[in-house]
Structure 1
């Protein structure tokens, strides 16, 4: 998984990214995975209004 860290004061393209591997020891990968799933499960399709 590649994770963008969102550093305050920088655009996303200028913030460092982490390449995480799922390992049997440690919980960092699972923490990011659960966070992504929670956000994804709360998301809704965009509702765009037509221009008049």
Structure 2
């Protein structure tokens, strides 16, 4: 699961909502995330999706 891979790299991805909860993930609102954290997230997503 992508959330488990992310956690291994220190990234926390939440579960999605409703009927898609099992098959999706969510990310905190971007104003709460620092620019270097966004870069790390982008690098992780490119590598794992």
TM-score for the superposition, normalised by structure 2: 0.35
Q: Compare the two structures and name the one with the higher helix fraction.
A: 2
